[in-house]
Chains A and B, each alone.
Chain A
Amino acid sequence: NAGVTQTPKFQVLKTGQSMTLQCAQDMNHNSMYWYRQDPGMGLRLIYYSASEGTTDKGEVPNGYNVSRLNKREFSLRLESAAPSQTSVYFCASSEATGSANTEAFFGQGTRLTVV
């Protein structure tokens, strides 16, 4: 099973460039998430989608946009990249956050460097 697939795995951008991080899950999960992970900061939620057709801001949404294209896919867009967005980005999915003991499954991550 593929689980959660993220692309690309690595990316270097120049300041001001735009890009879209792609994420797809094949587990028929309702909820999907985008996190960034920085040293000493842990995983911080950027945006999430509780179900197809809905998206909500997380802890650090500024500078990002998302699209829940369908139940499988949830993309993250950086419209104008800044060095502060250098980070490791993880996409995750879960069955539904309202369910007891539902776990989150993660993609392999995207290492983004903005120069």
Chain B
Amino acid sequence: RKEVEQDPGPFNVPEGATVAFNCTYSNSASQSFFWYRQDCRKEPKLLMSVYSSGNEDGRFTAQLNRASQYISLLIRDSKLSDSATYLCVVLPYTGNQFYFGTGTSLTVIP
């Protein structure tokens, strides 16, 4: 079983729509959680960390459910510039490496 699993999509949504991505992880002893954004042919960049209590950054809301071992990302009022691949990332307590999901592709359509 993969450490981190994501629905690859693609998600094609109109501007202004709300879209949600989910991600599941297999290692219950995971410490830190992140959402990264990767634009075509570019390096991944941190979008936001995911905290146990959930957190919001503008139009983006991240949530963590440790009991069910999943992470979610909600994007409200989608913009054309949100088109990218979103990577779910998990860091175990005892591991020395980050585990990446394969990414979920989002295209926001005018």
Residues on A close to B: CB < 8 A? 31, 33, 35, 40-43, 45, 48, 50, 56, 58, 90, 92, 94, 97, 100-109
Q: Are A43 and B100 in contact (CB under 8 A)?
A: yes
Which residue of chain A has its CB nearest to the CB of B33? A101
Q: With A42-B102, A90-B44, A106-B43 known to touch, is A48 a contact of B97 (CB < 8 Å)?
A: yes
* CB-based contact B102/A97 at 8 Å: no
A42 partner, pick from B41, B91, B100, beta carbons under 8 A: B100
A76 to chain B, nearest CB (A): 15
Could you tell me the distance in whole angstroms from the C-beta of A43 to the nearest C-beta in chain B?
4
Chain B residue contacts of A97, Cβ below 8 A: 91, 95-98
Question: Could you tell me the distance between the alpha carbons of A43 and B46 in the complex, rounded to whole angstroms?
Answer: 15
Q: Which residue of B lies closest to A45 (CB)?
A: B97
Instruction: Tell me which of A50, A103, A108 has the highest count of chain B C-beta atoms within 10 A of its own C-beta.
Output: A103
Residues of A within 8 A of B73 (CB): none
* Total number of B residues with any Cβ neighbor in A under 8 Å: 23
* Contact of A33 (CB < 8 Å), options: B8, B41, B45, B98: B98
20 contacts between A and B (CB under 8 A): A33-B97, A40-B102, A41-B102, A42-B100, A42-B101, A42-B102, A43-B44, A43-B87, A45-B97, A45-B98, A56-B96, A97-B96, A100-B31, A102-B32, A103-B34, A103-B46, A103-B49, A104-B46, A106-B45, A109-B43
Q: How far is the CA of A97 from the CA of B95 in the complex (A)?
A: 7
When C-beta atoms are compared, the residue in chain B nearest to A35 turns out to be B100
Q: Give CA–CA (A48, B100) in the complex, Å.
A: 15
Q: How near does chain B come to A65, taking the closest CB pair, in angstroms?
A: 18
Nearest-neighbour CB distance to chain B for A108, whole angstroms, equals 5
Question: Are the CB atoms of B96 and A31 closer together than 8 Å?
Answer: yes
Nearest-neighbor residue (CB-CB) of A39 within chain B:
B102
B89 at the interface (CB under 8 A from A): yes
Docked complex Cα distance between A56 and B96 (Å): 9
